[in-house]
Structure 1
Amino acid sequence: MTLYLHLGAHKTATTLLQNVLKHNEAALEERGLARIKIQPRHLFWHLYRDGDRDAFKKRRRTLARKLQQYYKSWPNAVLSSETMFGTSDLHRVNCLYPRADTALRVLAQLTSGMNRKVIFYVRRQDNFIESSFINRLQTLATSLHLDHAQLLSDTTWCSFEHYLSSFTPSQLSWLHLIKRMEAHFGAENLIIRPFESIHRGNAAYAESFLAPMCATHDLELAPQVYENRSFSAKALEEFIRLAPKQGFANLRSLRLHLQDKYPNTSYPRPMLLSPEQRQEILQTLATENSILFEQYFSDVDRTDISYQPVGS
């Protein structure tokens, strides 16, 4: 039996992959792959929010029992969650997912003795920075770490340049995060893939995700239930204009309204970095990205995806 832990990252089409798992649940179970169901607000979500160690211990025991149950009952099982490491917010961070080590340590302990694989998708840092900023605003009403009243009273809350100046792009190394994963699970147990492979299509993206776990023939790999709902440039502009006038309870409904009215599937996406900033970020991380490609990406991904600056 193999336990697959799909742990993110944010903004790498995790919703698509989770919908594929749900949509094909019966067919996947027939092939020996079970989807482990947990609450969206899992044990780490609560720990990051309120730090209640006693409650965390109880939730940890519950998750341990569930993992053991699936491990004994199924040929293969998959647990998919993009929030185990905390949020994607980069404001004042000194590395990608600074809380990841807590989750990695606990998950490694809970699965000790099991055959397990960690699946993790990365995204080119310039695009990840933009997506993380947009996601920060989109989740203003629901993010556990944000004080919406304080943010909205600060004129810099919607400033991308202020956000960008709060961290150093050189610290956004996927390689460093993956080495932290290695320390807990071993390099041989990591499956690292680039989000950018989605350019081959949703079905191909989902198939490559499922291929290590089970046979993929005759599965519906691009179900219509999936829709990439995010802010377009127009929706982002309107949200920044309207959010300060809203009470906390209305922020989520405002976000959903603008995503429906100005979806990024029909309107231009926000372009927050200048070409010069984008080039500088990729140049700063060029060496580590090169090592990432050589050590962890497949031959196919290395040939048609680039994380290098233009002209390299």
Structure 2
Amino acid sequence: MKKIIIHPGAHKTGTTYLQRVLEKNLKDETHIWFKTRSFFYHNITRPLIEKKEKTLENNAQQLLLSAVQDYDKILISEENISGRFYCWNENEFYPDMNKNILKLTKALRKQPTEHTIDLIFTIRNHADWYESMYLQKVKNGYATNFEKFREKTKIENISFSKLINKLSKQEHININVLLYEDFKKGQKRHALKN
């Protein structure tokens, strides 16, 4: 049975670090299909989730079909699967993630090969995540004042456990949780190789 692993990479939870480790450790693997985050964004995530152009969507479907047929494991790690980190109008944490993962898994279920789908979800201490997300917004020019950011982004609505609970309701998906703090300590460097 084929194994498909999806890592939606919640922002500021070690996604880039994990992708670099995977790129380094999986580059010579012949039974695992893993590409760069740029490749996944342009060829899988964007066409399947944003669905701007039917031809690109069909190309993404064909690419997934080939990968599932040719490899024992498919590993997709791409932060844009998560979508927006917060919806200020609705005060919702990662409002698009569940829908985006559903779109991706729907595309994968069209593949005729028997397979399992595992979701690898990285989480981080809420207060540390909140601070890091604010600093990222400042760096990118989207936020300047912490008080305004705090008013708009209600910390009480930020809950990785609620998000995971919502994701767990999707059928036929196994959810695995990795802690950012473990990455930071260097304890999970082999996390997805096995």
**Same fold flag (TM > 0.5):** yes
* Segment of structure 1 superposing worse, 82-91 or 170-179: 82-91
The within-5 A match list for 1:57-68 is 57-68=54-65
Q: Quick one: distance in 2 between partners of 1:136 and 1:22?
A: 27
Distance 1:75 1:39 in 2: 18
- Find the partner of 1:190 among 172, 175, 187: 175
Give the structure 2 partner of residue 20 of structure 1.
Answer: 21
- Match among 66, 72, 76 for residue 75 of structure 1: 72
Match of 2:189 among 206, 209, 224: 206
Note closer, same or farther for the CA distance 1:43–1:200 as it changes in structure 2 (3 Å cut): closer
Residue 27 of structure 1 aligns to a residue whose secondary structure is coil
Q: Give the TM-score taking structure 2 as reference length.
A: 0.82
1:106 matched to 2:97: no
The CA deviation at 1:42 is 5.8
Counterparts in 2 of 1:44 and 1:72: CA distance versus 1, 3 Å:
closer
Q: Quote the RMSD (CA, aligned, Å).
A: 2.6
Going from structure 1 to structure 2, the CA distance change for 1:194 and 1:116 (only over 3 Å counts) comes to: same
The answer (yes or no) to whether the contact 2:6–2:77 under 8 Å persists in 1 is yes
- 2:46 and 2:139 mapped to 1: Cα distance? 18
- 2:136 is matched with which residue? 135
CA 1:71–1:45 in structure 2 vs 1: closer, same or farther (change >3 Å)?
Answer: closer
Question: Residue 163 in 1 paired to residue 149 in 2?
Answer: yes
The letter of the residue matching 2:136 is N
Which ranges of structure 1 fall in alignment gaps of 5 or more residues?
Answer: 141-145, 147-156, 215-312
- Between the aligned partners of 2:90 and 2:182, the Cα distance in structure 1 is 27
Q: What's the counterpart of residue 32 of structure 2?
A: 33
CA spacing shift, 1:185–1:138, aligned 2, 3 Å: farther
Q: How far is 1:44 from its partner?
A: 5.1
Alignment partner of 2:158 out of 150, 172, 175 = 172
Change (3 A) 1:76 1:47: closer
User: d(CA) in 1 for partners of 2:3 and 2:137?
Assistant: 35
Uncovered stretches (5+) of structure 2, i.e. residues with no partner: none
Query: Amino acid of the residue matched to residue 175 of structure 2?
Result: L
Change (3 A) 1:93 1:19: farther
**Native 8 Å contact 2:12 2:132 kept in 1:** yes
CA distance in 1, matches of 2:42, 2:158: 26
Count of aligned pairs: 187
Aligned residue runs from structure 1 range 230-269, under 5 A: none
Q: Which of the pair has the greater relative contact order for Cα pairs under 8 Å at 6+ separation? A: 2
Q: Which structure 2 residues correspond to residues 224-303 of structure 1 after superposition, within 5 A? A: none
Identity %: 20
In 1, are the aligned partners of 2:48 and 2:57 still within 8 Å (CA)? no
> In 2, are the aligned partners of 1:104 and 1:184 still within 8 Å (CA)?
no
Deviation per CA, 1:239-287, whole angstroms, max 9, x where unpaired? xxxxxxxxxxxxxxxxxxxxxxxxxxxxxxxxxxxxxxxxxxxxxxxxx
Taking structure 1 as reference, are residues 41 and 161 closer, same or farther at Cα in structure 2, changes over 3 Å only? farther
Looking at structure 2, the residues matched to 136 and 92 of structure 1 have their Cα atoms a distance apart, in angstroms, of 18
Cα separation, 1, equivalents of 2:97 and 2:74: 22
Residue 4 of structure 1 corresponds to: 5
Normalising to structure 1: TM-score of the pair? 0.53
CA deviations 1:2-27 (Å, max 9, x no partner) are 01111111112211211122223343
Moved over 3 A (4+): 39-48, 87-93
